[in-house]
Amino acid sequence: MQHPLASAVNAWYRENARDLPWRRDGFSAWGVLVSEFMLQQTPVARVIPYLERWLERWPSPRDLAAVPAGEAVREWANLGYPRRALWLHRAAEQITEVHGGVVPRDVESLLALKGVGDYTARAVAVFAYGDRHPVVDTNTRRVIARAVHGMGEPAPPSAPRDLGDMEALLSDDDIEARTFNAAAMELGAIVCLARSPRCAECPVRGLCRWVAAGAPAYAGPRKSIQKRYEGSDRHVRGLIMAELRAADIPVTAQEITRLWPDAAQRDRALAGLVADGLAVETGSGYVLP
């Protein structure tokens, strides 16, 4: 027995889903894992070309594990949050060393990989292997908040609550459950938008408690707003990383000095990159790991 909301969303998804690489038949579990790393806090349109280049260069975990971590960081380029590249490289090493080069299927083994949290582990188990688990992202949470709870926005994330909400909507059938995990995300991404929801196009408009209540404004708790990027420590780290990626020889301290006028902020950013393993100090300057 499938929940009416899930049935409606799945039917809509089968007719309206975007053609994305990780949804195509034959896409590898390794490709799914790489895509999930890249999609963290990065829009789909930006990820696709990076993902295609990455998998062309390193089509398996063994291929990535065979090169220095700095090559992964260089290929990551401007995707943002470059620690993800380091973590993905380490995960490739773990998959090669512990799992014979095959991305593991069970959630616990996936969680043991560097950089893999609960969401990514569940996403790989579901989308790469078809297993039945609830998978919840920001878009899913917004769909459930509106359709099920009648709220204009989701409350701050709570894994027990969010996973419980999704579990209650999942079919016992593995295929239908997998489809709904993807379909709820898709509905939130292209119809149930945060600022301008397209309610007239929504397949669950007649089931949505928020619409039935007159689409009231959200008055509950909100998650904190991320600080502005321009001029932030993240901005300065990005400038230094761009210099390191572009150089074939060590970048000197003097060259780094010219990148940003605030010495204290610049030194803090550089020290953070070294501490994170993204920059390595040598006798003549700094290089990628």
Taking the domains of the chain in order of start, what are their residue ranges? 29-127, 233-287
Note the pTM of the prediction, 2 decimals.
0.89
Q: Which fold has domain 29-127?
A: Endonuclease III; domain 1 (1.10.340)
Q: In the prediction, which pLDDT does 78 show?
A: 86
Q: In the prediction, which pLDDT does 185 show?
A: 97
Q: In the prediction, which pLDDT does 15 show?
A: 97
The yes-or-no answer on residue 36 being catalytic is yes
Q: In the prediction, which pLDDT does 224 show?
A: 64
Of the residues 36, 153, 176, 186, only one is catalytic, namely: 36
List, as one string, the DSSP characters of the chain.
Answer: ---HHHHHHHHHHHHH----GGGSTT--HHHHHHHHHHHTTS-HHHHHHHHHHHHHH--SHHHHHTS-HHHHHHHHTTSS-THHHHHHHHHHHHHHHHSTTS---SHHHHHTSTT--HHHHHHHHHHTT--------HHHHHHHHHHTT--SSPPSP-HHHHHHHHHHH--SSHHHHHHHHHHHHHHHHHTS-SSS--GGG-TTGGG-HHHHTT-PPP-S--PPPPPPSTTSHHHHHHHHHHHHHH-SSPBPHHHHHTT-S-HHHHHHHHHHHHHTTSSEEETTEEE--
Q: Which residues of the chain have pLDDT under 50?
A: none
